[in-house]
Amino acid sequence: MQYLNENKNIPQNLEQSIKNNPKLHPYFDINFQGIKPKNYCGFLSIENQSYFIIPKITDDNNQNLNTFIYMLMYGYDVKLKNEDLMQGINVEHHIYELFIRLFSDTLLDEFKKGVFKQYITMQENLKVLRGKYIIEQNFNNFYHQNIYCEFDEFSMDNELNRFFLYAIRIFKKYSSYSNLHRCEAVLDEVAYFNVYFKRLNIHFDRMNSRYKKSYEVALMILQKLIPMTQNSREKSFAFLFDMADVFEKFVGRLYQEINNTTELQNEKNYGSLKLRPDIVINNLIIDTKYKKVNSRKELKRDDKYQMYVYGKNFKCQDTMLLYPKHIENIEDSLELGKGDDLIRLKLQSLDLGFDGGYSDFITIIKYRLEQISE
């Protein structure tokens, strides 16, 4: 296992493999000076070699890897069983295995309560009339002893279960987790089809809402899993996360626990202007920024305008830009506008460094956030 740091040049022995895989190009900066990851972290398996791309939080790679995985687990609400933690899955197993286990365990638990079925409209040539007699098709019915009918059947062969079967068969290429096979066996009456994400038309209601988490986890895995070869012996693939999304999800969930009135991504329309700040807590607006900033001199003008517009339209005089601490710490404040148009803006960095277990990590980071928000 080798560690690669985000925004740092990768080893030369890996450069050619990345250049030869166009699917990886959006996740790396490639120029004459070399190749380095963008703000994406996660797992790479190339030519049977394993690599972790990890955030630069401290000078200790093991701590950085732990922090990244803890943030993923908490931000995406991954709950592991005690035996998984005992096996050290949070560090030594591949990151994607965490989410495959979450998907499989959650889905199997719901299957045990009953497989989702719904009425599907079908048309068939039958010996006896069932449902509606279709006049036009029966005029041209070559099977004169049969009746062409349209009827509804209560079936597990529906779009949601087809999606689950598709996901399971993809995941089985990269994991041998036993619950994947159990879930597949449950769906033995479901037809297999390739799924195109942009054409998915799955709606959740009181009949199937208990499957929503399994669906969201499976969709997230499929969107972040990047297969790079069809060679069954050499499973080259990537499983990468945009760290801006990870940081936002992680901090947002923590603030929800700190204050249950916290609103996340609450979109409001002001005429033709749509505003959606990351976090709103009482009279404070917080926007997370996953970038390296050491002083107010490095603050982008667009970020100032964004926070000013948030403050004015949400009628909050206090706003905050929250950054992860990248070795250096930032703590500053400035005023935007004046008089009745004054908006106060704090610049704060959150120290994510911690050498310890998952539960203690969440506790200490929550405490740090409370101190920042006072």
The tens digit of pLDDT for each residue in 279-319 reads 999 889 999 999 888 778 888 889 999 999 999 888 899 99
Does 98 lie in the same domain as 65? Answer: yes
CA 111, 113, 116, 119 dihedral sign is positive
Angle at 190 between CA 187 and CA 193, to 5 degrees: 120
- What is the residue whose two structure tokens read 């982008």? 300
- Classify residue 252: in a domain, yes or no: no
- Classify residue 72: in a domain, yes or no: yes
Q: Please check whether residue 168 is in contact with residue 183, taking contact to mean a CB–CB distance below 8 angstroms.
A: yes
Which tokens sit at 122? 């079908």
- Classify residue 230: in a domain, yes or no: yes
Does 85 lie in the same domain as 17? Answer: yes
Structural domain that includes position 143: 118-155
Does 60 lie in the same domain as 46? Answer: yes
Domain count, the chain: 3
Over the range 261-275, which residues count as b (16 or more CB within 10 Å of their CB) and which as e?
A: ebbbeeeeeeeeeeb
Which tokens sit at 63? 């701590």
- Classify residue 253: in a domain, yes or no: no
Which residues, in sequence order, are bridge partners of residue 125? 148
Which tokens sit at 82? 């005690």
pLDDT in the model for residue 85: 46
* Helices and strands in the chain, H and E counts: 11, 18
Minimum mean pLDDT among 30-39, 74-83, 196-205: which range?
74-83
Smallest CA-to-CA distance from 46 within 228, 221, 175, 199 is with 228
Q: Please check whether residue 368 is in contact with residue 255, taking contact to mean a CB–CB distance below 8 angstroms.
A: no
- Classify residue 248: in a domain, yes or no: no
User: Side chain identity at 16, as an amino acid letter?
Assistant: Q
Q: What is the mean pLDDT of the chain?
A: 84
Does 164 lie in the same domain as 151? Answer: no
pLDDT in the model for residue 81: 58
- Classify residue 251: in a domain, yes or no: no
Average pLDDT of the residues in 136-157: 72
Last residue of a domain, one of 209, 243, 277: 243
Does 105 lie in the same domain as 41? Answer: yes
Per DSSP, the three-state class of 225 is strand
Q: Please check whether residue 304 is in contact with residue 332, taking contact to mean a CB–CB distance below 8 angstroms.
A: no
Last residue of a domain, one of 188, 213, 243: 243
- Classify residue 221: in a domain, yes or no: yes
Does 10 lie in the same domain as 127? Answer: no
126 pLDDT higher than 80: no
Does 331 lie in the same domain as 313? Answer: yes
Which residues, in sequence order, are bridge partners of residue 54? 5
Does 109 lie in the same domain as 234? Answer: yes
Minimum mean pLDDT among 143-147, 215-219, 364-368: which range?
143-147
- The predicted-structure confidence for 183-212, as pLDDT tens digits, reads as follows 999 999 898 988 887 778 888 988 889 999
Q: Which helix (H) or strand (E) segment is 66 a member of? A: helix 61-75
Does 184 lie in the same domain as 321? Answer: no
Torsion angle of the four alpha carbons 98, 40, 216, 23, in this order, in degrees rounded to the nearest 10: -100
- Classify residue 249: in a domain, yes or no: no
Does 211 lie in the same domain as 229? Answer: yes
pTM: 0.80
Give every CB contact of residue 11 below 8 A, 6+ residues apart in sequence.
Answer: 2, 4
Last residue of a domain, one of 243, 276, 310: 243
pLDDT in the model for residue 285: 94
pLDDT in the model for residue 86: 41
Does 326 lie in the same domain as 224? Answer: no
Does 127 lie in the same domain as 270? Answer: no
